[in-house]
Amino acid sequence: MGLPTKKHSLPAEAAKSRQYDLFSSFFGDTSTLSNTIELWDAIPKYAMSARQQNAKRDAQGHLQNYKQSFEYKSVNEEKTINCKLVMQPARIEMPDGTTKEYFPSQSEELIEEVLTKIFTDQRYGMHDVKNTESWVHFSLHMIKKELSARGHTRSITEIKKSLEIMSKTLIEVHMEGRGRGLVYSNPILSNMTRQTIADLAENPNAKWATQLPALISKSINELTYRQFNYDRHMSLSSSFCLWLHKRLVNRYRNASMLNDYHFLLSSVKRDSGRLTYARNSANISAVDEALKELQEMKVLSRWEKTEEKEGNAITDVKYNVWATVDFKDEVKAAHARLNDAHRAIRQGQGGR
């Protein structure tokens, strides 16, 4: 599963790509849809909350590397793969000249979603099939406006800080049984540039560009992404709810599978990295609240839970969930769109 990790500069122009055309075209209202990348979105890179980071910093503001084991199972593969994320924090210079380290968290997760959405508008994106590279052009104002429209207000200063965290955080993903185990090593955003003259450096409308993760570019080339309801996703409140929504989107590939789906508290705790409360009852409450929100947002029609116990102690919880008709329709549209994309490539309409 070789992936490009070398640094590149922004290409002057990329050849027209049928793969990029397909990635940018949706079955439904384009303004409400985006794409999820199964492996990339499975990596728990946004699991460390700001609260957790504050508790773990030393007196100098530094953090130890974050390590998280998780399991990944592609719907196209039978075998579950044991994975490990090792994440090196971004060291950011503060206004007083000192440095402080950060891991990406929910703010950065939302900004990545916005950048991926902007990339689907071909006025702002560029995809190179041959070199497996994807670039997006944007301005800080564009990000601020989109976040505000989705109920996530951030200042220009906060957005700049988040972009710096994403460009300086190094992630390594090791997958058992894949080559020597090291699959991916890179920042979340690479080769970020600000295309502006010096006296406009603080202009929120100045043009920026960054290279998107190679796992996204690889997915575009191989047609392994899925369209999903971006509008709904950006309305979700908690970091765990964001993760669980993507999990459901990537688990379901056809409407017949949506009648009933089940998972264990222990599995989502392991794979998300976001259920870190000391008391198990608090982790259970976090899952319950996320499921209630997904029900309110018309993803789930209902859900049930069954507690597994040893004596009076709850050792695990099994959750069964049922999808709404709306969500089933979204799955059908995503499935049809991907089938059309594969058909277009097979018929020789794709290429470089």
276-282 long-range contacts, CB within 8 A, separation 24+: 276/47, 276/49, 276/52, 280/314, 281/314
- Does residue 3 register a pLDDT over 80? no
State how far the alpha carbon of 187 is from the alpha carbons of 166, 230, 339, in Å: 7, 24, 32
Is residue 12 one of the residues assigned to a domain? Answer: no
How much of the chain, in percent, has pLDDT values that exceed 70? Answer: 88
Residue 167 has pLDDT above 50, yes or no: yes
pLDDT of residue 73: 83
- Domain holding 252, by residue range, is 18-346
317: in domain: yes
Give which of 108, 137, 260 is closest to 207, Cα–Cα. 137
- At residue 179, the pLDDT reads 59
Domain contains 154: yes
Residue 128 has pLDDT above 90, yes or no: yes
Residue 138, pLDDT above cutoff 70: yes
In this prediction, residue 288 carries a pLDDT of 98
Asked if residue 115 is part of any domain, the answer here is: yes
- Around Cβ 233, how many Cβ atoms within 10 Å? 23
Token readout for 265 is 């508290």
Which residues lie below 8 Å from residue 291, measured CB to CB, with a gap of 6+? 244, 300, 303, 319, 321
* Chain mean pLDDT for the chain: 90
Residue 6 has pLDDT above 50, yes or no: no
Paired strand residues for 228 = 34
Weakest-pLDDT range from 32-46, 146-160, 242-256, 329-343: 242-256
Structural domain contains residue 9: no
116 inside domain: yes
The total number of structural domains in the chain stands at: 1
Sorting pLDDT into bands at 50, 70 and 90, what band is 107? very high
For the entire predicted model, the pTM comes to 0.91
- Is residue 161 in some structural domain? yes
Asked whether residue 237 is assigned to any structural domain, the reply reads yes
| 312 exposure class (CB count in 10 Å sphere: 0-12, 13-18, 19+) | exposed
Q: How many CA atoms lie within 13 A of 88 on its CB side?
A: 9
Q: Give the model's pLDDT for residue 256.
A: 58
Tens-place pLDDT, residues 204-261: 788 899 999 999 999 999 999 999 999 999 999 999 999 999 999 988 876 555 567 8
Q: Quick one: pLDDT at residue 12?
A: 61
Is residue 53 predicted with pLDDT exceeding 90? yes
